[in-house]
Structure 1
């Protein structure tokens, strides 16, 4: 019950400020047709209910399952299995991420189909999957995250020099949308689950950093897509 109250309060505090700002703009500057403004208010209500149910689902289902999967994989003591299923889970959870679908639809519309929606989703998902797997390798072998971040961003800036300019902002937005409400909780829970079981690992330090690494993958994959399409 407390979890439900906290979730409802969290959503209200997130939605109310933007609703107030748009309402003020409506009656001072923009003066949208009343029908459109009413549709906005209805949309706010639907988004609020959807977010409450979504966040409850994440807390009740995704987080515990992510931690249990990470723990179960670690107990097998098979590196290939941990890495493979980390990659697979990274791909499928990204495909299910609402933010990724919004971005792909916008890019498809703006580019008039030059950058197909399905291709962009697959590229982003593969990028996340590869770097989630790499992040799990980092946890297993205690690799310093700074080295991976430095190499990753070095590759990003190098590829950016050879990619058509239109793909550069899209690639960084792709990295941003993978830090959405579905991907982040699951990936973090997976990392914490892996780190909590393995000897010599700390869930509070080794279990984090997966999202930072996972966001590099989509940037690189979309930049590579730019080189191919360019």
Structure 2
């Protein structure tokens, strides 16, 4: 067996255990004093904790030995090309695809569809979020190429958010800000951030720390705007349908 493959695995197991065990402890306390669920249900929940521990450990270990290194190398290669502008459309595609694969996004979209009784489908919300994140990644790559200050995106972006808040329904405002946090999940932060850092490290005059890591701020902002816009279109369309009836 290649020792390098399992290098760092004990540390990952320890970190995941620190994250999962407190949740398990709280569940057991609530089970004893409040919930009092049947034994079969408790067994199912414990199996879920075990599966979560194994899955998170394998995923995070794979990130450390695979996603992050290959992301940095891809960013370096793209940044050194004579036509380095190609990193902008590639950034959009990667952001779009990574959001579709993001586990937390799928969970959130399913909950939204359930709470709204199917009025807002998982597919519609997924396409909205994926497009928003894809655009934010493309803008991040453009910012690295042209050395544009991050505030030139954040200040206008949050100004738009504030305007949209006054135009949107309360439910969509809450959903929008939840998606802003969920979108910055492990797929985006590990793989695409590594590409941005790798590109910034080889482009002359760029600082990987300042230029690469600013991407997450845009990724957190873009879904808020896209969901608020989706909400405006959704309510206008629903209002038109009710008028037609």
- TM above 0.5, yes or no, is yes
> Which residue is equivalent to 1:14?
19
Q: Distance in 1 between matches of 2:110 and 2:166?
A: 26
Q: Which residue in 2 is equivalent to 1:226?
A: 231
Alignment of 1:202-221 (within 5 A): 202-221=207-226
Which of 61, 64, 71 is the aligned partner of 2:69?
A: 64
Stretch moving more, 64-73 or 104-113? 64-73
Q: CA deviation at 1:198?
A: 0.4
More helix by share: 2
Matches within 5 A, 1:87-106: 87-106=92-111
Of the three residues 119, 127, 145, the one matched with 1:122 is: 127
Task: Specify the alignment match of 2:42 in structure 1.
Answer: 37
Question: What is the rounded CA distance, in whole Å, between the counterparts of 1:120 and 1:26 in structure 2?
Answer: 35
Q: Give 1:79 deviation, angstroms.
A: 4.5
User: For 1:149 and 1:214, how far apart are their aligned partners in 2?
Assistant: 11
Q: Structure 2 unaligned segments of length 5 or more: list them.
A: 1-5, 236-245
Distance in 2 (CA, whole Å) between partners of 1:127 and 1:58 is 24
The answer to whether the aligner puts 1:169 opposite 2:174 as a matched pair is yes
Pairs within 5 Å for 1:166-205: 166-205=171-210
What SS does the corresponding residue of 2:205 show, helix, strand or coil?
A: coil
Out of 156, 164, 189, the residue aligned to residue 159 of structure 1 is: 164
Distance 2:93 2:75 in 1: 13
* Inter-partner Cα distance in structure 2 for 1:80 and 1:118: 31
Structure 1 CA distance for aligned equivalents of residues 28 and 16 of structure 2:
18
Count of aligned positions? 230
Q: Could you list the runs of 5+ residues in structure 1 that have no partner in the other structure?
A: none
Number of the residue aligned with 2:28: 23
TM-score (norm 2): 0.90
Q: How far has the Cα of 1:182 moved from its partner?
A: 1.6
Residue 208 (structure 1) shift: 0.6
Aligned to 1:149: 154
**1:36-84: per-residue Cα shift (whole Å, max 9, x none)?**
2221111100110111111112112211121122111111142531111
TM-score (norm 1): 0.96
Equivalences for 1:50-61 in 2 at 5 Å? 50-61=55-66
The yes-or-no answer on 1:47 pairing with 2:56 is no
Q: Which range is displaced more, 28-37 or 114-123?
A: 28-37
Q: Conserved in 2, the CA contact under 8 Å of 1:160 and 1:168?
A: yes
Distance 2:15 2:58 in 1: 12
The runs of 4+ residues in structure 1 deviating greater than 6 Å are none
Query: CA deviation digits over 1:185-214, x for unaligned, max 9?
Result: 112101101101101111122111111111
Q: For 2:42 and 2:142, how far apart are their aligned partners in 1? A: 50
Give 1:127-146 correspondences, 5 Å limit. Answer: 127-146=132-151
- Provide the secondary structure at the position in 1 that maps to 2:170: coil
